[in-house]
Amino acid sequence: MDLKLTDKVAVITGAGQGVGREIAKVLAAEGAQVVVNDLYGERAEAVAKEITETGGKALGIQADITRLDEVKGLMEKTVQAFGPVDILVNNAGVPDPIRRGEVARTHFIDSKPSDWKLQIDLNLYGWLNCVYSVIHSMVERNYGKILSIISEAGRVGEPNLMVYSGAKAGVLGFTKALAQEVAERHAKRPRHHTDDQPFDQELELRSMKGPSPDWIPRTPRKTTNGWPKC
């Protein structure tokens, strides 16, 4: 398999075990320079070591992705070690106290408000922190891939995991909206710069900084009861 990832810089969150670890190994085997992030530094370093011992390029970096300052540090260390981030995999999504069984999965009616925060902080703020810390560079460079691991729970809902289900559905909403925003900017970028159509720096910058003044939001679709669809 050649996914054309040679020397691409990939950051995978929560890659110290489980799904993220496997993603990191596959990306490294495809030639990517991989940053293995985890809440636990020793886990991140162990996976990075596993990759480098088999000939791949990897670095383990501890950071709590629920904290924007730590995520900024993670991305800065990545740029210093390998260069700007080409691929972000938002994988961390199971809060540590839940994974360790300290906080039980329960029906919402039996849940505690302090437990809701764990899911919202990790799945929603974690996503926002990570994407916000790479998106400016990706738009400037006109290159970047962002992959987010959700769950069937986010699509259909899962009992005992109501807040997790909602948070995963939120990630899907974030992703769809971001894709449209970035596509909007990308679509306005001149595709070819020839002698007849020279590089237009003003248009180029405007297209990167936000929707142009003539941008018109799409008309909301109506439901059968007449209310706009959200």
Taking CB under 6 A as the criterion, the residue among 89, 94, 131, 138 binding ligand NAD is: 94
> Per CB under 6 A, does 73 bind ligand NAD?
no
- For residue 60, give the nearest of 79, 81, 41 by alpha carbon: 41
Alpha helices for 54-161 (secondary structure H): 68-81, 96-99, 113-119, 126-141, 152-156
Taking CB under 6 A as the criterion, the residue among 26, 29, 30, 40 binding ligand NAD is: 40
> Per CB under 6 A, does 149 bind ligand NAD?
yes
Stretch that binds ligand NAD, among 11-19, 80-88, 137-145, 189-197 (CB under 6 A): 11-19
> Per CB under 6 A, does 115 bind ligand NAD?
no
C-alpha–C-alpha distance, residues 189 and 75, integer Å: 26
- Based on CB atoms, which residue is closest to ligand NAD, 126 or 207? 126
- What are the distances in angstroms from CA 180 to CA 82, 95, 100, 147, 192? 29, 29, 37, 15, 22
For the question of residue 164 being annotated catalytic, the response is yes
Residues 6+ apart with CB under 8 A from 72: 133
Residues 74/75/81/83 CA torsion (nearest 10 deg):
170
Taking CB under 6 A as the criterion, the residue among 66, 119, 129, 165 binding ligand NAD is: 66
Taking CB under 6 A as the criterion, the residue among 9, 58, 89, 122 binding ligand NAD is: 122
3-state secondary structure of 228: strand
Taking CB under 6 A as the criterion, the residue among 25, 32, 64, 174 binding ligand NAD is: 64
Which residue ranges make up the site for ligand NAD (CB under 6 A)?
Answer: 13-14, 16-20, 37-40, 43, 64-66, 91-94, 96, 99, 122, 149, 151
Catalytic residues: 164
